[in-house]
Structures are given as C-alpha cells and as structure tokens.
C-alpha cells in the first residue's frame, strides 16, 4: 500500500527526477559520482551522529555538572557537526547552498518557523542558529542512531500536545532560540503546506520574536516519501532566506485561541508562495 | 470549593471568552470536538486557563477521558476535592 503511494509521487515528480533509462532529462554534474557520494555521505552522517550521541555527548555529560551548560555544549558540538557536514558536501560539490539573513538567527526568545522541503533542512538551521533548541519527531528519541544526540542536546519531542507546548513555552521564556517546522513533517513537493496551529500557539504564549525562514531546494530532492537514491539530474541548490520578524504585539490583544488562529492563517499566507503548488 | 453549577458557569464563561462561542451552545452534553470545535491545542489553552482560575496545578492526564462539557465539570469537581 505504501508502494502505490510512492509510485504516484514518483510520477508527480517526474519532471524533476530521472526515472528509468528512457527519460530525456540529461544527467549532469557527474551524476553517478553524486549518486555514490550521496550514499556515502548518508552513511557517514549516520555514523557521526551515532558516535556523537553515544560517545561525545556522554563525555560532555561526564565533565559538565551544570545542566544548562551541558545542554549548551552538546548543542554547540552538534551544531558544529552539522556545519562541518554541510560545508563538506558543498566543498565536494554534491550540493550547493545559499543562506540569506543568517545573522538574524539565534536571538534570545526567538521562535523560528520554517517550511520543510527536504530531509536535511534541520542541519542548516541548527548548524547556523547557534545553540538553538528544536522540536523533533518523537521517533528520533527511540531511534538507536539519533536518540543519544537528541537526548543529550535536550531537544523537545513533538508529542503529546500539552507537554510539547508547555516545554516549548518554558524554553522560549528561558531565552532559548527554538526551531519549529509547523507542518510537523516534510512538505510534499507540489502540494500546499499543511501547517499545524501549534507553532502559532507557542509563538503567542512565549516568543519574544517570531521569524520565518523560507527554504527552497532546486531541483527538488530528499523530499518526503522519496528514497535517498532518487537524486536529481543536476546538483541541487538549497536557498534559505530568513524573513522579516513578525510583529506579535498585533495579535496579543485577543485570547490565545483566537489570536493563534489569526496568526496561523497569516503564517500560512506568508509561506504559500514559497513552494510552487502543482495540480 | 465551588458547586457544580458554579463550575459550569465558570467553564461556560471561559469557553465564551477564549473561543468566542455563543453561550447558549455551551450545554453540559455538548461535545468538545464535534459540537464546539475545540481541538487538542485549544484544549491545552482551556485547561491552562481553568487551572489559573481554580488555582490548581493539573496534569493533562487528568483530562484524557474528557469528551463533553459535563465530563469536564465532573473532572474539575473531582480535582477540587482531592
């Protein structure tokens, strides 16, 4: 049943992806090298995450008694790892990326909301927003490879609702930067974003600053329900644009449930133009 | 200690204030999801709001079985006697 769905998505994405040998799209930028390389860097990324979570973060834990400092150091190590990863794959010319407005990331009590077109979006944001907290899929706290890392860094699992909202609220009130992908999962290419209202709710409860980050990847790759080896015919380029801060004061005169619906609608409007919607 | 009638009035006021519901629609048998269109995120706001009014720390777990306004009144009544 999963199969039928995936095939349909492949068909939808056929103008982006080379499928089979009959396609007329030319494979460029050392396609086969990029394919093997992509497999390799996934492997390396998984291994490094595992080792960081299993060895490095526990070591930090051992030598750092203070909880806040421990979390800070763990995030610094993970952030540096992600930056290194991104710079490496760019230097090896597997991907390209451009960051616009990076200096606006990482302020105290700042909530970052971003669309989520690809698997590695989180690396850009946690790599370049120093010390940021993040709401992470609950499954990552059970996954053998990722659980050491996400626990060590004190990230927030995305369920259940009440706990997630209260923990996120406390993090922002304590002055942390917090990253949320309001869709709770990756954006399906060509489909409108399906945002949850949780981000707007958390923003109105506790954020000092709300900043949208618009992510595009051209040609599309590493998107939802596509396996890693469906690499695009040419080298993909990520563009991350940090938007203008959203004035929360304009919403805070109403009770949170009402205000969060307004903010939610406005956020949906802001992101509507980011990923092209196709029928 | 509030009577069940007082609890009902407090809950009704909260629902009208927070969600702009019409007071006559807030009846004990009204279901939060179908009749009042209160989703899980709204539920968190509502419970936080009520716990401030009743000056009680509550756990979301206490409200897991709540489906209707009457369920909520019963739960609050039980919590305030604990």
Block residue for tokens 């992908």: A181
Tell me: the pLDDT tens digits for A11-48? 444 444 444 444 567 888 888 888 888 888 888 888 88
Look at residue B32 in the predicted model and tell me its pLDDT: 93
| Separation CA A238–CA A86 (nearest Å) | 11
Tell me: the pLDDT tens digits for A231-263? 888 889 999 999 999 999 999 999 999 999 999
Among A26, A17, A37, A39, which residue's Cα sits nearest to residue A90?
Answer: A37
* Res A52 pLDDT > 90: no
Look at residue A264 in the predicted model and tell me its pLDDT: 94
Asked if B44 is an interface residue toward chain A (Cβ–Cβ < 8 A), one would say yes
* Res A10 pLDDT > 80: no
* Res B79 pLDDT > 50: yes
Asked if A163 is an interface residue toward chain B (Cβ–Cβ < 8 A), one would say yes
R_g of chain B, CA atoms, integer Å: 11
Test A198 with B47 for CB contact under 8 angstroms: no
Half-sphere exposure for A1 (CA within 13 Å, toward CB): 0
Q: What is the dihedral of CA B46, B51, B54, B55, to 10 degrees?
A: -150
- Å from A268 to nearest chain B CA? 17
Tokens of A254: 């109403």
Interface probe with B: pick from A162, A182, A199, A201, most Cβ of B within 10 Å: A162
* Res B58 pLDDT > 60: yes
Test B19 with A257 for CB contact under 8 angstroms: yes
**Chain A residue numbers touching B44 (CB-CB < 8 A):** 161-162, 165-166, 201
ipTM over 0.90: no
Tell me: the pLDDT tens digits for A181-213? 998 888 877 777 788 899 999 999 999 999 999
Residue of B19, B39, B60 lying closest to A162 (CB–CB): B60
Biggest distance spanned by C-alpha atoms of chain A: 60
Give the pTM. Answer: 0.85
pLDDT tier at A53, thresholds 50, 70, 90: confident
**pLDDT averaged over every residue in chain A:** 86
Chain B: residue nearest A253 by CA?
B18
Test A165 with B17 for CB contact under 8 angstroms: no
Judged by CB atoms within 8 Å, which residues 24-53 of A form the interface with B? none
Among A77, A1, A88, A13, which residue's Cα sits nearest to residue A44?
Answer: A88
Asked if B53 is an interface residue toward chain A (Cβ–Cβ < 8 A), one would say no
Among A231, A187, A242, which residue's Cα sits nearest to residue A209?
Answer: A242
| Separation CA A80–CA A153 (nearest Å) | 13
Tell me: the pLDDT tens digits for A103-141? 999 999 999 999 998 889 999 999 999 899 999 999 999
Residue B42: φ, ψ to 5°: -60, -40
Helices (H) and strands (E) in chain B, counts: 3, 0
Residues making up chain B, counted from first to last: 82
Test A201 with B43 for CB contact under 8 angstroms: no
Q: Which of A44-48, A150-154, A220-224 has the highest mean pLDDT?
A: A150-154
Tokens of A223: 């998107």
Among the ranges given (A102-106, A166-170, A222-226), the one the predictor scored with the smallest mean pLDDT:
A222-226
For chain A, the straight-line distance linking the first and the last C-alpha, in angstroms and rounded, comes to: 22
CB A109 within 8 Å of CB A206: yes
Three-class SS of chain A: CHHHHHHHHHHHCCCCCCCCCCCCCCCCCCHHHHHHHHHHHHHHHHHHHHHHHHHHHHHHHHHCCCHHHHHHHHHHHHHHHHHHHHHHHHHCCCCEEEEECHHHCCCCCEEEEECCCCCCHHHHHHHHCCCCEEEECHHHHCCCCCHHHHHHCCCEECCCHHHHHHHHHHHHHCCCCEEECCCCCCCCCCCCCCCCCHHHHHHHHHCCEEEEEEEEEECCCCCCCCCCCCCCCCCCEEEEEECCCECHHHCCCCCHHHHHHHHHHHHHHHHHCCCCCCC
Among B75, B40, B38, which residue's Cα sits nearest to residue B58?
Answer: B75
């Amino acid at each position: 049943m999963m199969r039928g769905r995936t095939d349909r998505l492949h068909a939808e994405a056929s103008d982006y992806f080379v499928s089979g040998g009959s396609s007329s799209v030319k494979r460029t930028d050392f396609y086969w090298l990029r394919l093997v390389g992509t497999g390799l860097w996934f492997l390396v990324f998984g291994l490094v995450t595992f080792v960081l979570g299993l060895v490095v973060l526990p070591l930090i834990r051992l030598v750092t008694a203070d909880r806040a400092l421990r979390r800070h150091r763990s995030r610094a190590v993970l952030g540096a790892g992600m930056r290194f990863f991104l710079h490496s794959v760019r230097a090896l010319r597997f991907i390209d990326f451009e960051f616009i407005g990076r200096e606006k990331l990482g302020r105290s009590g700042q909530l970052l909301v971003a669309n989520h077109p690809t698997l590695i979006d989180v690396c850009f944001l946690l790599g370049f927003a120093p010390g940021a907290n993040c709401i992470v899929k609950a499954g990552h706290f059970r996954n053998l490879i990722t659980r050491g890392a996400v626990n060590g860094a004190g990230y927030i699992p995305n369920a259940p609702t009440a706990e997630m909202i209260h923990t996120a609220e406390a993090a922002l009130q304590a002055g942390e930067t917090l990253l949320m992908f309001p869709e709770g999962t990756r954006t399906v290419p060509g489909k409108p974003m399906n945002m949850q209202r949780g981000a707007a709710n958390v923003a109105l409860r506790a954020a000092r600053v709300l900043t949208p980050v618009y992510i595009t990847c051209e040609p599309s790759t590493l998107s939802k329900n596509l396996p890693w080896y469906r690499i695009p015919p040419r080298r993909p380029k990520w563009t991350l644009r940090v938007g203008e801060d959203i004035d929360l004061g304009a919403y805070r005169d109403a009770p949170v449930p009402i205000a969060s619906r307004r903010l939610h609608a406005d956020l949906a409007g802001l992101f509507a133009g980011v990923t092209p919607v196709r029928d | 200690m509030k009577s069940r009638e007082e609890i009902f009035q407090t809950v009704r006021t909260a629902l009208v204030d927070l969600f702009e519901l019409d007071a006559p629609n807030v009846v004990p048998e009204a279901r939060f999801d179908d009749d009042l269109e209160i989703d899980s995120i709204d539920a968190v706001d509502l419970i936080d709001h009520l716990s401030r009014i009743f000056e009680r720390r509550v756990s979301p777990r206490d409200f897991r079985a709540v489906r209707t306004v009457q369920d909520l009144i019963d739960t609050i009544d039980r919590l305030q006697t604990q």
